[in-house]
Structure 1
Amino acid sequence: MKIDLIDVFPGRSLGGNPLAVVHGAEGLDEAAMLRLTRWLGFSETTFLLPPTDPQADYRVQIFFPAGELPFAGHPTLGSAYAWLAAGGVPKSAGTVVQECGIGLVDVQTEGATAPARRLAFAAPALTRSGPLDEAERAEAIRLAGVAPEAVVEAVHVANGPKWQLLRLRSAADVLAARPAPEAPLGTDIGLAAPGEAGSGIDWELRAFFANQHGSLTEDPVTGSFNAGVAVHLFGTGLVDGSYTAAQGRMVGAEGRIFVSRDESGVIWIGGDCAMISQGGALTAFA
């Protein structure tokens, strides 16, 4: 087995979300995958496997420290990048087809070349949408630590992770949020608001999830949340064409996400990937 370390969605060197990608993971069971994920300590670690669907180029299992995820965004881009960097050739030119817990996900491969390469995944359909009820809204506001008067709307944007979106008045409101230290496992809450004038950023985001210890953790850059937000923003007419989002400032990151919708209506969540370490030997562990 080999392991790559990849920076996903960086707006500067080492400014994105780190990802570990394990190649040739057939010999690992899920318990071993989870132990390695926890030991590494990244938001997610992925494990590349042969596909079971004939349309797919590879299959991936995605783990975060509390368990397995059916889909996640920065692991999708990073896994596709690692597979390509290891010599993978997609069945369809220009598109990698990833098999994961939610099914097949297309990843566009046309972009900048090494050492950084821009990829984009097709945003999956929402598995839950619509407004939060009163109790859900109040609890999301409490856990995210935002001023209630700053909330413009509160909606579900689940797409694997059970994301709840609090859309706020301004980027300043997003950056001022002070999340609670603890939250129930399964908590996925994110904030979004229009970017500051003149910043070159159209939307400012933050995202929080509960880890296996019950702590509410801020993610540096979150592809699945950006995908859920994009589906909602395009679906409600709040955006059109393309936009650039930023995430991670409050945890020392500088993430950049490039979002667009093509003529067929597919929403693409794009970002750069940079190889930090490639092909390290992963020795067997009990």
Structure 2
Amino acid sequence: MQVAFKQVDVFTSSAFKGNPLAVIMDAQGLSDAQLAAIARWTNLSETTFVLPPQDEAADYRVRIFTVEGELPFAGHPTLGTAHALLEAGWPLKTPGKIVQECGVGLVEVKISHDGALAFAAPAATLTPFSDALMSSALNSEAFDLSQAPTIVDMGIRWLLIPLSSAQAVLDVVPSVADLHRLQQHADVNGTMIFGALPADENEQYEVRALLVENGSLTEDPVTGSANACLARYFAAQGQTRDYRARQGSVIQREGRIQVSFSDAAIWIGGQTVTVIDGTIAV
């Protein structure tokens, strides 16, 4: 059976500079075992599978798989899937707005006039966190002591660690063993470090998302969920000025994330480009 398939690059306007995502455009009839096998085969950070919605308010339902299992929510798969479906002419119930159904419920995606997409950051639980392992895990003492490290949980859990500057973020060379122990102590999916950029830059923050998978360090190119957690963290401190973040610099990517605050929602957005458009045999 041939099924429509796209591979897209999210949070970038230039191919090969963002975070890639595989989208299986119609997963009806595929078993959980097949979904998992396809995700392992694509070997990307996430692969999404589009299904008819179960909630009548949604335009579609999506299941999000990593090579290790299923996630209830993730940011760049949300935007990448929406982009792929819009490009394919997917009908929407409300023009200018997409409603995705996933493991955390309904997530709204806003369509901008320039083609950028933004998802509404899900609600989150914030828990301050402290652990002596942070220094050895990051091989750094350049912490921003005016802000507290915090676990932010929005279905996927991130440990946010503020550093003193963008350069301090770029200079981090993690210890894989200690980072793994730290993330086990915090019971999180990954760690995001962040620091402010100089005032003359186009973006305001440099961010990095660090994970340990199968005993090896993985740095995510651009991470929607971690940036959504960071926006929730700032909002909890009363910082609700729109900003832009830069991610992927250390691994030669050019991820750009726009964060916008409104009374109704916090929007995490960016551009997406299609790199592969075809079919997959299943």
Query: Normalization by structure 1: what TM-score?
Result: 0.89
Taking the aligned partners of 1:268 and 1:189, their CA distance within structure 2 comes to 21
Answer whether contact 2:109 2:117 (CA < 8 A) is retained.
Answer: yes
2:220 partner amino acid: D
Post-superposition Cα deviations, 1:182-238, rounded to whole Å, max 9, x if no partner, equal 526854111111113322110110001232x23231000000000000011122023
Equivalent in the alignment of 1:105 = 107
Question: d(CA) in 1 for partners of 2:132 and 2:256?
Answer: 30
Matched, 1:157 2:155: no
Structure 1's 189 and 141: CA in aligned 2 closer, same or farther, altered over 3 A?
A: farther
Alignment partners' CA distance in 2, 1:30 and 1:151:
44
| Aligned residues of 1:111 and 1:119 also touching (Cα < 8 A) | no
Q: Which residue of 2 aligns with 1:180?
A: 175
Within the candidate set 140, 143, 164, 1:147 is matched to 140
- The gaps in structure 1 that reach 5 residues or longer are none
Stretches of 4+ aligned residues off by more than 3 angstroms? 139-143, 184-187
2:128 is aligned to: 131
Q: Mean Cα displacement is larger for which, 229-238 or 161-170?
A: 229-238
Q: CA deviation at 1:11?
A: 5.3
- Alpha-carbon shift at residue 141 of structure 1 (Å): 4.2
Task: Indicate how the Cα distance of structure 1 residues 66 and 140 shifts in structure 2: closer, same or farther if over 3 A, else same.
Answer: farther
* Equivalent residues of 2:142, 2:168 under 8 A apart: no
The sequence identity of aligned pairs, in percent, is 42
Distance 2:156 2:108 in 1: 18
Change (3 A) 1:273 1:168: same
Unpaired segments of 5 or more residues in structure 2? none
Partner SS for 2:89: coil
Look up the equivalent residue of 1:223 and give its one-letter code: G
Aligned pairs for 1:55-66 within 5 A: 55-66=57-68
Secondary structure at 1:121 match in 2: strand
**Partner deviation per Cα, 1:31-75 (whole Å, 9 max, x = no partner):** 222222122121111000111111100000001112111000000
Aligned ranges 1:240-255 → 2 under 5 Å: 240-255=240-255
Cα contact 2:101–2:107 (8 A) shared by 1: yes
**What displacement does 1:149 show?**
4.3
SS at the partner of 2:195? strand
Alignment partner of 1:8 is 2:36: no
**Are residues 142 and 30 of structure 1, via their aligned partners in 2, closer, same or farther at CA, if it must alter by over 3 Å?**
farther
Q: Aligned with 1:35: secondary structure? A: helix
After superposition, the CA RMSD in angstroms is 1.7
Contact 1:146/1:176 (<8 A) preserved? no
- Matches of 2:54 and 2:264 in 1, distance apart? 28
Deviation at 1:151? 4.2
Q: Superposition pairs for residues 163-242 of structure 1, below 5 Å? A: 163-182=158-177, 183=180, 187-211=189-213, 213-238=214-239, 240-242=240-242
Count residues with an aligned counterpart.
Answer: 271
CA gap 1:140/1:160 in 2 versus in 1, 3 angstroms: farther
